[in-house]
A and B are shown apart, each in its own frame.
Chain A
Amino acid sequence: MTGARALGLLGLVALAVAPYVPIGVMREYTIHVLVQIFIWSFIGGAWSLMGRFGLTSLGHGAFLGLGAYTSTLLWNFFGLTPWLGAVAAMALTAGLAVIVAYPCSRFQVVGHYFGLVTLAVGEVVRLLIIAERDWTGGSLGLTVKAAGHDSLLAVQFADKRVFYYLALGLWLAGLYVWVRVDRSMARSAMEAIGEDETAAASVGIHVTRFKVGITVLSAVLTAAGGIAYAQYISYVNPDTLAGIGVSLRIVFAVVLGGMYSLLGPTVGTALTIALAEYLRVLFGLKFIGMAETIYGLLLVLFIIFLPAGIYGTVRQLVGRRRPTAVAA
């Protein structure tokens, strides 16, 4: 355990000094990719809080979009700082999460049905954003109004390194929440509910309270991730922040990494983003669609051949080897 802890500490130090490693012109780009990995890993981690207990949401784009658009609209139209905008957005998202999760739990909507209900919710948010085009710019998206200078109030900085540290902090906070949930009583309760709802209720577990609670937590964190992404890119778009596409991408990354482990979502997100970026750079503007084609093909192959996810599979292999090593 101390070995793992030392390794973790070493990794943290490496991440802390990473923006100052002199790698010349590639630095800006590398930082850009890393910021994206942190933010989307955070969002993936938020999704896995629900996903690991069998609540497979295919509509996290709803929470992502609601969060990002609320804070952006409040800033653009009322000049409200995104810090307060984030509070409002997260409160709103929590409300939406309750509206979705409460009836789902009361009417025992689980499995495929839960996935399809959340998918519909994601589409509703995307379509509403497009329909309210006077405010939101419709499918063209919306640019976060520039403050004109570096401003902590507006969360806008010319130097990407500031965003790097903010995103790193966000990612670590996400891991912390994951560990807290993992070690809590709620985890055992949620696992029991995931296995058999009726049996869980019969031993006194308040099924609805736990389900709604974990959904709200997951949704609020997802909204925070959406706001962070909107602030970093300073642009919001209904197709990249709401709807099926982004919802599926989040789930993909997590399942690819493995949703039952702390670093699974991060490994999966890092791989999918790195892969997408690599293919994008490789093909450039020459073969439009080729990068995504290979991406889709690899996803299918990964899911068929590594069903426990990459990180999960590696952990299983290591875990299997360790006892024999001790025995020998």
Chain B
Amino acid sequence: MIEPVFLAEAAVNGLLLGGVLALLALGLNLIFGVIDIVWIAYVDLVMICMYAVYFVVQVYGWPIWVGGLASVALGALLGVLVHLLIITPILTSAPVNQLLATGGLLFFLQSFATFLWTTDHRSVRLALPRLELFDMPISVARLIAFALSILAMLGLYLFLSRTYIGTAIRAVSQDREAMALMGANPQRVYLVTSAVGGAMAGVAAALLIIQYAVHPFFGAAFGPITFMICVLGGLGNMVGAFVASFIMSEVIAVSGVIWSTEMGYVIAFVVFIVMIFVRPGGILAKRG
């Protein structure tokens, strides 16, 4: 029998992981909802940004917040580049080609990272105090990451609801053709969306690198679960993605303690498959 304290610890860890997963899912979901293309390589962009933080902080010795800013800037830049170089030429192609183009980018980024930085695991070590709550060790790095990801999500929410371009982004995600007819320029909206989505990847990277080591296959480890969360939450549904992140991270963390890490992911994927059948519009969608 597993001691309740371990389960409680797993639940807390799940909650903290859920914050960062939510951030990843929101960035991807924003792009997904507005441009209607799945960036298979999204988490690989995060991986590249994580390396950026690692080099800025560990190798060049700058403070962590500089690394974080660099990561956000790089993320936004990568988002714009991916959109201009890969997405724009295939906007009207068959969906399978769109998936595969970003899938090719996944192979490219993964192996280019292997080529440049080898498969060594690298992490950023921060000197942080230890914290204990009811005999459970709580990682301060995870706590900070959780708090900052909630803040970043609030920022995204305010951007989408309070600014002019944010409103345009939401409008395009609701009806692409109608927006073009209203005189809006979808290209510009797409570009801003890609930049914002990329910046979210940068924020997530800065928050992930203080908890996990980065390696070229980081994207392969976190990518699938991120897509699952997006779909589970409902495409373009930000609140849904937020809720889905916590469901998935709790499933992974708790069943990971009860069985094994792999079984935790297996159960998460099975939950996803069943949910697609039962609630195809996402967990918060009205039954149709």
Contacts and interface: CB of A to CB of B under 8 A. Distances in A.
Interface residues of B, number: 48
B118 interface: yes
A252 B216 CA distance: 21
B276 A295 contact: no
Interface string B96-108: 1101110111111
Contact of A123 (B101, B110, B113, B269): B269
Nearest to A138: B262
Contacts of B265: 123, 127
Nearest to B116: A289
Contact of B95 (A111, A119, A130): A111
Given A111-B95, A292-B107, A307-B93, A128 B266 contact: yes
A124 B270 contact: yes
A107 interface: yes
Interface in A222-271: 244-245, 248, 251-252, 255
A116 B227 contact: yes
B228 A116 contact: yes
Contacts of A303: 90, 93, 97, 100-101, 104
A44 interface: no
A103 interface: yes
Interface string B56-100: 000000000000000000000000000000100110011111011
Given A128-B266, A293-B111, A120 B101 contact: no
B126 interface: no
Contacts of A107: 276-277, 280
A131 interface: yes
B108 A290 contact: no
Nearest to B228: A120
B contact face: mostly helix, strand, loop, or mixed: helix
Interface string A108-127: 11011101110111011001
A123 B111 contact: no
Contacts of B111: 289-293, 295-296
A208 B142 CA distance: 47
B104 A300 contact: yes
A127 B262 contact: yes
A289 B111 CA distance: 5
A56 interface: yes
Contacts of A121: 269, 273
Contacts of A244: 220, 223-224
> B93, B107, B113 — which one has the most chain A CB atoms within 10 A of its CB?
B107
A252 B96 CA distance: 10
> B93, B96, B97, B259 — which one has the most chain A CB atoms within 10 A of its CB?
B96
B185 interface: no
A120 B103 contact: no
A120 B100 contact: no
Contacts of B112: 289, 293, 296
B100 A251 contact: yes
Nearest to A107: B277
B260 interface: yes
Contacts of A56: 95-96, 99
Contact of B100 (A104, A113, A117, A255): A255
A299 interface: yes
B161 interface: no
A54 to B, nearest CB: 9
B243 interface: no
Nearest to B109: A296
Contacts of A58: 99
Nearest to B102: A300
Contact of A109 (B106, B223, B280): B280
B115 interface: yes
A47 B80 CA distance: 33
A117 B276 contact: yes
A103 B277 contact: yes
A215 B58 CA distance: 50
B237 to A, nearest CB: 14
A113 B260 CA distance: 28
B90 A304 contact: yes
Contacts of B99: 56, 58, 112, 115
Contacts of B95: 56, 111-112
A287 interface: yes
B103 A304 contact: no
A297 B108 contact: yes
Contact of B260 (A116, A131, A291, A295): A131
B74 to A, nearest CB: 19
A131 B90 contact: no
A121 B228 CA distance: 12
A300 B105 contact: yes
Given A120-B224, A120-B272, A296-B109, 11 more contacts: A104-B277, A113-B276, A127-B266, A252-B104, A289-B115, A290-B115, A292-B111, A296-B105, A299-B107, A300-B86, A303-B100
12 contacts: A124-B269, A252-B104, A255-B96, A289-B114, A292-B107, A292-B114, A293-B111, A295-B107, A295-B111, A296-B105, A300-B86, A303-B104
